[in-house]
Structure 1
């Protein structure tokens, strides 16, 4: 007995250490019995500040969820910082979220250049980098960056859809491209190359870029007009998209205009540019347009309007960023519900990449959220739409891209 007591004590001590280690491994930063911390970076200031409404909508959405009792018995602590659409600031803010605030995951961080700046760091830390507010095609690279996943349709797929429509509608078009000089803008160039194939060099007669720090894009538009462009594809953030629409009217230049989906908000882009000036613009849509009477009695939009009236009173409901933010928030909530009691970072990522045909309230009919361990492009469907002066009018079938 005397000899066995130290052995038994040693076994108990070892068991206690092992149990403590298991608990430590199981514990997730930002997760307690009553709370889940979720981090976000947003452009509340700077050249892309129109997107700040997305973060504001998501904060209001999570407040609504908390008022309804939270998720799995926990309240959501949504911590959102302004990075001004500046990659160096994004690095600072993301480090703060992970190392100081100790969030469980990052959600819907805005911007292609900003997320590019932190992608390697976040993946090295093995922090879920979920549903980025950017359609850069590279967010689907699950082999190199398994902790990063996009949300909206790929810009490259979107541009390919435009290219196919241009080929069918105006096969002799003289195409010009105005694009932001980063991965966001270059995805549109590559998408048109995918669509036009070996005819790209003859169909695209001029491609010019701009920097997000430029004051205007006036000189680029003059260059495109001088080249004889009659079909214009614009891949620009809201500030510059509004400039383009207004400048085209000032120049009395009327090319057929295709505009990136991320800059089609009625409130944030078209109103400042002049609603009449935007007539005829074609885009690819995946969310419902609040200015379209077709959705007046739609259950999903009624749900969104009730949320807006209660949690964002006085907010411009023609701003499509609120509709987008609501859809993104619902998708994040779905992931947390799927997690159940296991809120380890590994399981959060596992559930984010195992979503089966989830339909947020504000997506167009036929558009759904679906992911898998080898599909990091959650939304792959779009429908073409044309601005008629009052609302976006959808036409044609819902088109599914490859998401490759």
Structure 2
């Protein structure tokens, strides 16, 4: 797709409030009246709202593009069947940054300055999203539900217009640490990590969570996103004979690490992969017979689990995805995350007290246990004063056969 915009007609969920009309300001910008006087209404009118998303539709992280396609299908479904937010249809402009921060900057500026979108939903990736959050906050443009778990999306107080969605990498690392400490309190651990904020955030979070316990990190190897392979790193890590291998990697490199681990004859660690790389599609590419017992975590329901077929939310998701997202694999974890995050955006915008950028900013930071039906039972969206992490609970899962099986109980990582 390159830099060509895809114009997607869609809508968000039924609105909770009657929103005020807007007055004029400049050529395309307007200000809201009533209690919303003086607030920004660029990109939103009585009948429409324009959003911009930036995804790696090409390049080394293109697997994540399924999330953008599923988000588009969600908006198309709402457009066709729900009638929009108080009659406002969503025009969704999706651009490709190929997972390259300079391209993220270029495409984000184009969306804001040329297309004049109301909000950015979302940017995907840590380095890529970081490249534009200063710009978006200076422009006071909401950067909603960043697709990435960097802890700073919720911990930073200098960027009030930016917020994440999925559990932070700190939360995810705590969940893995809890599992390892319980299963093998004296484990030795080897770590493969991406040499950027993504990998380092997970590594630092895990290290802090096992501090003072019998669990020890005995080997670490990093890789660059531009590296062709991580096999040299795996050979080095195998020399540690560690009990556990943490693969803090994106899908391409996680698959390489799993394949290298499967070929190893003298090293058989318990392999843990991150939520961003645990798609059944990724595991299938390695061969299910080679990845049995692999551990990860979850916060959404598993679309590949047949036991979920009777779940009303899962049935609706698969039915609507088949109708509005033809060609998208319904069992893809990226697809279900794209659908669920779009649903989350719709509910957040619907709950805004003003049809303005300020109203959306305030709404995303005051989510009061908002249910999203595709999240695991017990997982809701909650933010508030001093808490800008919408999801902070996960559950460990183990690959059994060709699907994930949940292990234990929901882990509340705030405790």
TM-score, normalised relative to structure 1: 0.91
What residue in structure 1 maps to residue 60 of structure 2?
47
Q: Which of these two proteins has the greater Rg computed from alpha carbons?
A: 1
How far apart in 2 are the matches of 1:273 and 1:41? Answer: 29
- Give the CA deviation at 1:27: 5.0
Inter-CA distance 178–37: structure 2 relative to 1 (3 Å threshold): same
Aligned equivalents of 1:315 and 1:40: distance in 2? 18
Structure 1 contact 142–373 (Cα < 8 Å) conserved: no
Residue of structure 2 equivalent to 1:11:
none
Residue equivalent to 1:379: 391
Say whether the 8 Å CA contact 1:65–1:71 is kept in structure 2.
no
Specify the alignment match of 1:300 in structure 2: 313
Superposed displacement of residue 174, structure 1: 1.6
Q: Which runs of 5+ in 2 are unaligned?
A: 1-23
Displacement of 1:26 after TM fit? 4.2
Change (3 A) 1:108 1:22: closer
Q: Residues 47, 396 of structure 1: CA spacing in aligned structure 2 closer, same or farther, 3 A cutoff?
A: same
Query: Residues of 1 paired with 2:344 and 2:31: CA distance?
Result: 33
Specify the alignment match of 1:5 in structure 2.
none
Which position in structure 1 is the counterpart of 2:240?
Answer: 227
1:199, CA displacement in angstroms?
5.0
Structure with the larger helix share: 1
Aligned residues: 383
**Higher RCO structure, 1 or 2 (CA under 8 Å, sep 6+):** 2
- Aligned residue for 1:240? 253
Deviation, 1:277, is 1.4
Task: State the shift of 1:36 in Å.
Answer: 0.3
SS across alignment from 2:52: strand
Residues 3-402 of structure 1 mapped to structure 2, 5 A cutoff: 25-26=38-39, 28-67=41-80, 68-198=82-212, 203-252=216-265, 253-267=267-281, 269-339=282-352, 342-402=354-414
What stretches of structure 1 of length at least 5 have no aligned partner? Answer: 1-15
Q: Determine helix, strand or coil for the equivalent of 2:386.
A: coil
Once the two structures are superposed, residues 264-297 of structure 1 have per-residue CA deviations (whole angstroms, 9 ceiling, x without a partner) of 1112x11111112111111111011122122010
Counterparts of 1:251 and 1:390, CA distance in 2? 21
RMSD: 1.9
User: Which structure's residues are more often strand, by fraction?
Assistant: 2
Distance across 2 between alignment mates of 1:49 and 1:257: 24
The alpha-carbon deviation at position 315 of structure 1 amounts to: 2.3
Give the SS at the match of 2:408: coil
CA offsets 1:110-153 (integer angstroms, 9 cap, x no match)? 00010111111111111111101001111013421111100000
**Inter-partner Cα distance in structure 1 for 2:40 and 2:377:** 40
Give the conservation status (yes or no) of the 8 Å contact 1:163–1:195: yes
Seen in structure 2, the aligned counterparts of structure 1 residues 247 and 37 have a Cα distance that, compared at 3 Å, is: same
The list of structure 1 runs, each at least 4 consecutive aligned residues, that deviate by more than 6 angstroms after superposition, is 20-24
Shift of the alpha carbon at 1:21?
Answer: 8.1
Residues 178, 22 of structure 1: alpha-carbon distance in 2 compared, 3 angstrom cutoff: closer
- Distance in 1, matches of 2:231 and 2:194, equals 14
CA contact (8 A) 1:39 1:106 kept: yes
SS of equivalent to 2:241: coil
> Partners in 1 of 2:313 and 2:31 — Cα distance?
46
CA–CA distance in 2 between the matches of 1:170 and 1:97? 49
Q: TM-score, normalised by structure 2?
A: 0.88
Paired residues of 1:42 and 1:81 also in contact (CA < 8 A)? yes
